[in-house]
Each structure stands twice: as C-alpha cells, then as structure tokens.
Structure 1
Amino acid sequence: MASAAVRADESDRSHAGILKVVRGDVQVQRKEQKLTAQVGDRLFAGDRVVTAADAAAGITLRDDTLMSLGPKSSFVLEGFAFNESSGDGNVAVRLAKGTLRYVSGLIGKQAPDRQMVNTPTATIGIRGTDFIVEVADE
C-alpha cells in the first residue's frame, strides 16, 4: 500500500477523474503500487480499479463521464484526454470482468466515436449515452 506522500505526488499530474464512491474493498493499482481506494482519490490513464465481492466504486471523469463498477470487477482506464476549452478528447476503458455502467459526458456528446469500451471478447464503440456491460467470470 502506498503512503499519503505518493498520493500527493500523483495529484500534481494531470488526472483523468476521481473516485466519487467507494464501498467495501476497492483497490487502485498504479504501476507497481496498490492503493486502498478512498473517496476523492484521483485516477490517471493506466490505472486499474479492482472491486472485491461485496464492493463497488463510482468514478467521475473530468468531462463528466460517469462510471459505476459492481462487485468483483476489474477495470482499466486505458486512455483519457480532454481539452476543457474546446471540449475535444477521447476515452478508452477496458472491463476485464464484472459490471460497468457508463454514462457519457461531454466527449460522448460532442464526439461519440471517440469513446471505446473493450472487454475480453468485444470492443464497443459507444453511440448512446447510458449503458451497462457485464463480463462474466470464466
């Protein structure tokens, strides 16, 4: 588990979003570090969020995209870019297992083709604004 100093160092970088809801055992894996997730923690491209059997997490990205992870989920924020002035950007996420509810933010409203959700068996190009994906354990 990383110290508060590591969390502070990470907050100096341009973050993609924050954890708005943390219920139960939720971990953020950043490079070789494992952090016990807390409400208000910043998330960066490349971060993996893992929820335990009785856990859930809610994420808000800087463009107001909302994502909710259910129990026993493994999720990676593969890429995120957002220009607050122009509204341009892109979102790429991967759900390895579990459930994800995705509600599009500004990027999805301005450029739906710049949102991507990957799963082990499919890539979803997002054209709507609100959907749920479930990846079952094998």
Structure 2
Amino acid sequence: MKRQLAYQIGYVIAAVAFGAPASAAGIATVTDVVNDGYRTPPGHEEQTAKRADELVQNEALRTDDESSIQVTFVDGSELRVEAESEMVLSDYVFDGAASKGLINLNDGLFHFTSNGKPDQGVKLKTPVATIGVRGTEFLVHVDGNDVTIIDIMSGAVEAKPNGTGQPITCVGGQSILIAGPNEDAMCGDLGSFSAAAGSPGRDRNKPEPGHGGQNDRPERPEPPKPDPERIRIKGRAAAARPCCSPTRSRSKSADRIEAMGGGDLRPSHFSLWCVWHHCTADAAVSRTKS
C-alpha cells in the first residue's frame, strides 16, 4: 500500500516537474476576435475566446452571429472562423519542415490561408468530405451534414467525399461542390455552386423553391449592373457591384441577398460571399473585354 502511494506521489511530482502531456501542447493561437467567439478546451467548460489565447489539441471553437475568430497555427498558416460557425482542432503538428494535422469543420463558413507553408499533410474534414490542402487560400461553406462548397482563391484543393463518392482536385478560380458523402465531387467556376446548390446557412425548416417541378421555380432576377466605383480586394482592383461595400451590416446584406441570387446564404456570411464571388468576377470580365 505504501509502495503504491509512493508511485502515485512520484507520478504527480513528475507531472508537475515536466509539464502536461504532449497532447496538451499548444497547436495554435487566437490572433483576433470580433464580437462573441468561444472556445472549449478538452475537459473544460466553454469560455470566451480572447486574443493571445493558446489553443490545444481537441479544442472546440464557436462563433455567434456577426462574430469571428482568427486562429494562427504553429506553422504560420491561418484559419478564420466566420459567424455562426463551429469547428474542432483535432490535431496540428509542425516539425520545422512540413505540417500535418486534422481540423474538423462542423458547420458554417471558414477561410483558410496557408501563407506559403508546406501543408500537404493538413486535412480539413467536414461531415461530407475531407479536404486536402496544397499551398492555397480558400473558403469552405459547410451546411451541416448536407453540402460542402469550397471556393479556391489560389493554389489547389483535393476534395474527397467521405463515402463512396469520387474525389476531385481543382485549382484557383474554381469552386468544388460535394453534395453528400456518396456523391461525386464536382468542379465549377468560382461561385457557381453557392446559390444553386442550397448554400450553407439556409433555414432547414423552410422549404426551398423549385422542388415542386420546373413550373414552381421563380425566375431569377437580373443582377444589378457593375458600379464604376473601384475597390481593392486582396491587393487586386475589382469593379464593384453595389453589394460589395466592406460593410458587415445584417440589414444591408439581407436586402441584397435575393437580388444577387444568394437567397440561401446567411446575411452574416453574405458580404464576404459577395465580395469574393461577384467583385472578382467583375474584374475578370473587365480584363477579358480589354
């Protein structure tokens, strides 16, 4: 009995002297919080996320309406958790040469940037697909267990459905649609799936238009003409549509969603969707005409 007690005391002393297990080591840091963001370390209650918080393996993150959390990983790559989103940092390791890890994106909108780091070993997993990263920047729209849409700004992304669906690799300027774990992944032009496929953030209790047949589908209104005002997005000038102001106002965004064909998007996600999909598209059209 005394010997067993001595072993237990020795274990406690060793734990205090040498620190927590490797699994509790920090894998990322909170670098920005807008409004209401929350973190849940493993074995603890949910708490408010604050700038400079160190995040560990299996820590969960959640954001409320009009809120976001910016996370920087040990290799310098970044992930922004946009409004009304949930995720879990399952694992992330950087050995000085390359990164590997698994991040579970459960629901919402996420913006990943590798910042040129060798991150081929990093996987982002949604309920319907697993995303392989190849030195890139992209948005991931996760509609719970239903649909995942990936908008690739640069680099390349491999998307593999979690069931029997066939994988696909697409590059910057394209979007990927995974309509279910047993559906083949599809490539399309940037932004081509976000309104057509039932975008993340829709009200699941509200029936979508067009399900009763061709005659039930309302005509899509003509999009507004591009505004001559120029704005700068990620270092590139783009001809701005009226919705592409930098505002994150719910009311202004909500008024423009239907007119732009994005009626299923959450208003809090819409301004970001509009800027990336429509403003960049306008710039591409302008370059083609010139």
TM class, shorter-length: 0.7 to 0.9
Structure with the largest fraction of helix: 2
Match of 2:85 among 73, 80, 95: 73
Aligned to 1:102: 112
Question: Is residue 121 from structure 1 mapped to residue 128 from structure 2 by the alignment?
Answer: yes
Whole-angstrom CA distance in 2 between matches of 1:16 and 1:105: 17
What is the SS of the residue equivalent to 1:98? strand
The whole-number CA distance in structure 2 between the counterparts of 1:126 and 1:82 is: 15
Unaligned runs of 5+ in 2: 1-18, 144-200, 205-290
Give the partner amino acid of 2:99.
G
Task: Pick the aligned partner of 1:27 from 38, 59, 66.
Answer: 38
Task: After TM superposition, give the deviation of residue 89 of structure 1 in Å.
Answer: 3.1
Cα displacement (A) at 1:67: 0.5
- 5+ long unaligned stretches in structure 1: 1-8
Which residue number in structure 2 is paired with residue 51 of structure 1? 63
Counterpart of 2:100 (choices 90, 101, 107) is 90
Per the TM alignment, residue 128 of structure 1 is displaced from its structure 2 partner at its CA by 4.2
Which residue of structure 2 aligns with residue 3 of structure 1?
none
Output the CA distance in 2 between the equivalents of 1:101 and 1:89. Answer: 18
Q: Which of these two proteins has the greater Rg computed from alpha carbons? A: 2
Quote the RMSD (CA, aligned, Å): 2.1
Residues 20 and 40 in structure 1, CA contact (< 8 A), matched pair in contact too? yes
**TM-aligned CA distance change 1:68 to 1:111, over 3 Å:** closer
SS of the equivalent of 1:127 reads strand
Q: Does the 8 Å contact 2:57/2:92 carry over to 1?
A: yes
> What does residue 6 of structure 1 align with?
none
Indicate how the Cα distance of structure 1 residues 21 and 123 shifts in structure 2: closer, same or farther if over 3 A, else same. same
Count of aligned positions: 124
SS of 1:16's equivalent in the other structure is: strand
**For residues 61 and 127 of structure 1, what CA distance do their matches in structure 2 show?**
16
The aligned counterpart of 1:17 is 28
Contact 2:103 2:125 in 1 (8 A): yes
TM-score normalised by L of structure 2:
0.40
Greater RCO, CA 8 A, separation 6+ = 1
How high is the TM-score relative to the length of structure 1?
Answer: 0.80
How far apart are the structure 2 equivalents of 1:83 and 1:60? Answer: 16
Q: Structure 1: which 4+ aligned runs deviate by more than 4 Å? A: none
Q: CA separation of 1:69/1:111 partners in 2, compared to 1, >3 Å: closer, same or farther? A: closer
Percent identity of equivalent pairs: 24
Is the 8 Å Cα contact of residues 27 and 55 (structure 2) preserved in structure 1?
Answer: yes
Q: Is the 8 A contact 1:70 1:99 kept in 2?
A: yes
Q: Which residue of 1 aligns with 2:233?
A: none
1:58-94 superposed Cα distances (whole Å, 9 cap, x missing partner): 000110011111100001111111123xx23312111
Q: Return the match for 1:60 from 72, 95, 100.
A: 72
Aligned 8 A contact 1:63 1:105 in 2: no
For residues 103 and 138 of structure 2, the distance between their equivalents in structure 1, rounded to whole angstroms, comes to 14
Give the conservation status (yes or no) of the 8 Å contact 1:93–1:116.
yes
